[in-house]
């Protein structure tokens, strides 16, 4: 009986360990099934007539639980519609925004139709931002079929390795297929040289001068590069347009950035995180203006050690699925400050969001917890909310003007000018290289170093508190 009991206990321990392992592994992998994200396969048929593109998109939901998702149509799209296989409409509009009702999509495909009008320039056309953004969808496989009826002397180029082109009596037919989101497309009418490599196709007016070996690219995947001075510079994960023939090292860096980018997945709304992670890995800001702005904000807002710690955590992250909340969590571990920066950037794509790190520790004044005083890091400076602290410390102050604060303490008078590099102490003007008082959002903050110098306070940091001691204690 004892042997049976021991055997049963051993089996249960093994079973429990297995369950915990798979739960933990699922947490690390960040599967779409455990979130509000849906994985999809999709195909597009584009019919080009004159300046108009008649586009049909079929979406096949593979996994996920998103029952309703926001859809952002391409700029100037018109005649849009969404139907199930049954013909029932699946598009709704609320407060000026469009949504797809995805409740029946587990068993049916969705078909989206819409029309775009785009003008060619000197026989060329870069078709970017041409497809709808399904906010919480992750594309796994994409097929693009093009029926060309107008520009038959030009050729269509995509960012995919798999392609087919057939010249027929009245149309040219193109088919492109690849992993991930839809590729941008280029309709090109000039003469081009094509150099084909395992991981990249390089189109250029003049044959490139360097020959890449088999092991020169770091990652799997595929990137198309077009080198042409007459085209706008363009950087996406599988399609690069470079304005002039670059140095070999620059070209390699951009291709490897695209290949690195393709290792990750994200929803349409957060797809810029893929660009950012690839830029962090290669330590260079590439991609959309939004991604470059965020990269430079991190560079200027974090100290060198914090930036290095965040980059290391990001590179060690095992999940291929990138999410803004995950990035904010890594930022907290790297800095010991809390932030909703990445989430705010994702939810406000048109706004410039500053990187503000907020102390997760309790702020205390003479061992008394303060609830209204904020301690932040902004542009590598530690700042504390000024008027709230002066009120708690019993320092008298008033506003002389909207951006001028007058304060008195221990016989000293201070006049602070918001966002100016000077202040007045006892009616003497002191010019500085920094701004002692600045507005961040709607709150006025003072640099901690100036707080200690001017008001004779000491600021100590422990693992759980930020302790402010006044001179009297």
**Per-residue pLDDT tens over the stretch 66-94:** 668 889 999 989 999 999 888 888 888 88
Q: Report whether 59 contacts 110 (CB < 8 A).
A: yes
Token readout for 211 is: 């020959």
Residue 10 has a pLDDT of 43
> What is the spatial distance between Cα 73 and Cα 94, in angstroms, rounded to a whole number?
14
Residue 103 has a pLDDT of 63
* 1-5, 210-214, 375-379: the lowest-pLDDT one: 1-5
3-state SS class at 168: coil
Residue 230 has a pLDDT of 86
272-282 vs 248-261: helix crossing angle, rounded to 10: 130
- Between 433 and 175, the more confident residue is 175
Give the model confidence (pLDDT) of 18-34 as tens digits: 443 333 344 334 444 44
Give the model confidence (pLDDT) of 31-47 as tens digits: 444 457 888 999 999 99
- Between 121 and 184, the more confident residue is 184
Residue 33 has a pLDDT of 44
Q: Report whether 71 contacts 38 (CB < 8 A).
A: no
Q: Report whether 268 contacts 346 (CB < 8 A).
A: no
Residue 108 has a pLDDT of 63
> What is the spatial distance between Cα 185 and Cα 176, in angstroms, rounded to a whole number?
10
Give the model confidence (pLDDT) of 187-205 as tens digits: 998 888 998 888 899 999 8
Mean pLDDT of all residues belonging to the chain: 87
Count CB atoms within 10 A of the CB of residue 28.
12
Domains of the chain in sequence order: 34-188 (2.60.40.1730), 191-263 (no CATH), 268-353 (no CATH), 358-469 (3.30.457.10)
Count CB atoms within 10 A of the CB of residue 335.
20
């Amino acid at each position: 009986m004892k042997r049976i009991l021991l055997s049963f206990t051993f089996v249960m321990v093994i079973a429990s360990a297995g369950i915990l392992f798979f739960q933990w592994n699922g947490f690390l992998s960040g599967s779409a099934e455990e979130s509000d994200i849906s994985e999809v396969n999709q195909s597009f048929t584009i019919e080009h007539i004159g300046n108009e593109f008649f586009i049909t998109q079929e979406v096949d939901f593979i996994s996920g639980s998103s029952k309703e998702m926001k859809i952002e149509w391409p700029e100037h799209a018109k005649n849009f519609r969404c139907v199930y296989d049954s013909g029932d409409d699946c598009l709704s509009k609320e407060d000026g925004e469009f949504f797809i009702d995805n409740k029946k999509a587990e068993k049916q495909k969705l078909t989206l139709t819409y029309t775009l009008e785009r003008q060619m320039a000197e026989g060329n056309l870069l078709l970017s931002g041409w497809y709808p953004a399904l906010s919480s969808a992750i594309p796994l496989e994409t097929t693009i079929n093009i029926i060309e009826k107008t520009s038959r002397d030009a050729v269509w180029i995509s960012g995919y390795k798999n392609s087919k082109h057939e010249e027929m009596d009245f149309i040219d037919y193109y088919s492109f297929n690849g992993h991930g989101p839809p590729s941008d497309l280029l309709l090109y009418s000039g003469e081009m040289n094509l150099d084909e490599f395992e991981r990249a196709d390089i189109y250029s007016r003049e044959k490139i001068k360097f020959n890449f070996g088999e092991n020169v690219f770091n990652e799997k995947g595929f990137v198309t590069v077009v080198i042409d001075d007459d085209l706008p510079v363009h950087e996406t994960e599988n399609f690069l347009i470079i304005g002039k023939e670059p140095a070999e090292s620059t070209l390699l860096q951009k291709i490897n950035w695209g290949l690195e980018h393709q290792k990750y997945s994200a929803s349409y709304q957060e797809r810029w995180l893929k660009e950012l992670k690839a830029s962090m890995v290669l330590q260079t800001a590439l991609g959309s203006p939004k991604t470059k702005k965020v990269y430079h904000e991190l560079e200027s807002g974090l100290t060198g050690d914090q930036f290095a710690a965040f980059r290391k955590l990001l590179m060690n992250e095992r999940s291929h699925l990138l999410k803004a909340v995950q990035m904010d969590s890594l930022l907290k571990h790297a800095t010991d400050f809390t932030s909703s920066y990445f989430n705010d950037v994702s939810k406000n794509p048109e706004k410039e969001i500053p990187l503000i790190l907020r102390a997760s520790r309790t702020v205390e004044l003479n061992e008394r917890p303060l609830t209204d005083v904020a301690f932040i890091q902004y542009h590598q400076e530690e700042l504390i909310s000024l008027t709230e602290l002066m009120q708690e410390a019993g320092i008298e102050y008033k506003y002389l003007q909207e951006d001028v604060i007058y304060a008195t303490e221990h016989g000293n008078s201070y006049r602070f000018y918001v966002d100016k590099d000077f202040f007045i102490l006892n009616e003497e003007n002191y010019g500085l290289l920094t701004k002692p008082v600045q507005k961040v959002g709607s709150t006025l903050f003072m640099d901690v170093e100036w707080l200690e110098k001017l008001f004779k306070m000491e600021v100590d940091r422990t693992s759980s508190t930020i302790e402010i001691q006044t001179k009297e204690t």
